[in-house]
Amino acid sequence: MLQIQQDLLSALRDELDKLSPGAGEKAAFESPKVAAHGDFAVTAAMQLAKPLKLNPRAVGEQLRAALLAQPVVQRWVEAIEIAGPGFINIRLKPEAKQQVVREVLSAGEGFGRQPANGQRLMVEFVSANPTGPLHVGHGRQAALGDAICNLYQTQGWDVHREFYYNDAGVQINTLATSTQLRAQGVKPGDAGWPESAYNGDYIQDIANDFLAKRTVTADDRAFTASGDVQDLDGIRQFAVAYLRHEQDLDLQAFAVKFDHYYLESSLYTSGRVEAAVNRLVANGKTYEQDGALWLRSTDYGDDKDRVMRKSDGSYTYFVPDVAYHIAKWERGFSKVINIQGTDHHGTIARVRAGLQAADVGIPAGYPDYVLHTMVRVVRGGQEVKISKRAGSYVTLRDLIEWTSKDAVRFFLLSRKPDTEYTFDVDLAVQQNNDNPVYYVQYAHARICSVLAGWGGDAATLSGADLSPLDTPAAQALMRQIAKYPEMLSAAARDFAPHDVTFYLRELAASYHSYYDAERILVEDEAVKLARLALVAATRQVLHNGLAVLGVSAPQKM
């Protein structure tokens, strides 16, 4: 059906160009708001009416007549109707709709995927400083980042996952002193415990392992403790390695893997920050005032100029961000997406301003940002705000242990990133249709059960006669399957993995409706094979869509 759609679109493009040269560039099919109106809707007649100085319906009639003369239309289209002020509704023949089943079975896991486009994308996400366990907000970011990576991979992009973190600065110093105090026997509530210190039980765990002279290994570093409570630098390095290891365990439990870890400190030691600042100064994009160095960010749409270097000589936090994104561009990433919390909203304008002021060839609007809100966790009807391990928040691992990796991923992706979300732990463990991830996974498992009950060779289904798939229930399911590739492309373009969750729920609903409407393992061999081919194609699309979300597709439940 996808090839048929492209052939029909080509025919529409040709006829539009004949009516008005250049109009073919805007040729497009839309989905009718009411399925009974047809399979494709065309609004071109209304768009061309004014320049052609004709009534929209008259343009529609001309276009309809021209299309009906096209061989590809005669082969695959059952009817073309004019509706309302000039809508053109196209109704396909049953055999045209049936082709999507063959396409899915032929392409398998490749259904919906585009060929490699030669472009490189970096997605930076999670990027948590190693000062504590990953919280639920980090979990939302991990789910978003990984799903967006998967979406872009389906569209042919060469995708790189990166984790950026601060391995120095005030927070890391606080981590080191908090661990040192615990190693010395000082604990929260004692007279010598600072108000700014980290209070979670994990700090005591780090201190105990440091005193035991243990070695910790993370994806990007390893360190052996000296056991000397006066060795503050050693404590700092051990604590960072320890918590990086803990974060790795969180990410492994969530099935997220990064290609590279990038240290903020490297931007200073490599000279990248200094080079970026010098370039901005040389380009005349800065000025001195009140002992500070300012960026003329208002020249690039910011609401006010921004301090780059404070009077004490230290840089404000967006300066290394500018240096980091110059490095991303120089590393060959033509597109960059940053997944961050909504508290980073103010960073966007100043980072983009710094990149434009640097004048290194980076296009305006680089990088893209996806900002997400935090997540409330409810269990037993009550909001859960703290974790014994973390001290002040619910950790990602808590949520996974209470429910499952699949539930956490699906739930955290089921709303737009900037929408407030409440994670209902009790709902996430229910095994009924109210639980969306269970509902979708059950549809997949149910199909697997049907195919297992048949017991035949699935390869034979690709050559089955599909003509029996002419009932309303079968056509509704095929129509839903056919939406998958376009949905994927739109979800990638809009940074919207929640669209995948919505689609999968609709596909599961279509399958459950089909299963209730038509018995699959019937006596008639031709009908049985056609219906088995349809449900096998449905299973494949459910599998493919769940894989984009990083959610498993179980065969039994």
Q: Sign of dihedral through CA atoms 55, 57, 60, 66?
A: negative
**Residues with Cβ within 8 Å of residue 218, at least 6 apart in sequence:** 241, 244, 245, 247, 248
Per-residue pLDDT of the chain (557 residues; tens, 9 = 90+): 678 999 999 999 999 999 899 988 888 998 887 877 888 999 998 888 888 888 999 999 999 999 999 999 999 999 999 988 889 999 999 999 999 999 999 999 999 999 999 999 999 999 998 988 899 999 999 999 999 999 999 999 999 999 998 887 788 999 999 999 999 999 999 999 999 999 888 999 999 999 999 999 998 889 999 999 999 999 999 999 999 999 999 999 999 999 999 999 999 999 999 999 999 999 999 999 999 999 999 999 999 999 999 999 999 989 999 999 999 999 999 999 999 999 889 899 999 999 999 999 999 999 999 999 999 999 999 999 866 555 678 889 999 999 999 999 999 999 999 999 999 999 999 999 999 999 999 999 999 999 999 999 888 999 999 999 999 999 999 999 999 999 999 999 999 999 999 999 999 999 999 999 999 999 999 999 999 999 999 999 999 999 999 999 999 99
On the 0-12 / 13-18 / 19+ scale of CB atoms within 10 A, 30 is exposed
**Residues with Cβ within 8 Å of residue 188, at least 6 apart in sequence:** 197, 199
Q: Which residue has the tokens 């929209």?
A: 56
Q: Which residues in 8-64 belong to E strands, given as ranges?
A: 40-42
Q: Sign of dihedral through CA atoms 492, 495, 497, 502?
A: negative
Question: Taking the model in full, what pTM does it have?
Answer: 0.91
Given a contact cutoff of 8 angstroms between Cβ atoms, the answer to whether 212 and 399 are in contact is: no
| Cα 377 versus chain centre, distance | 21
Q: All domains of the chain, ordered by start, with CATH? A: 2-92 (3.30.1360.70), 170-252 (no CATH), 433-549 (1.10.730.10)
Given a contact cutoff of 8 angstroms between Cβ atoms, the answer to whether 180 and 235 are in contact is: yes
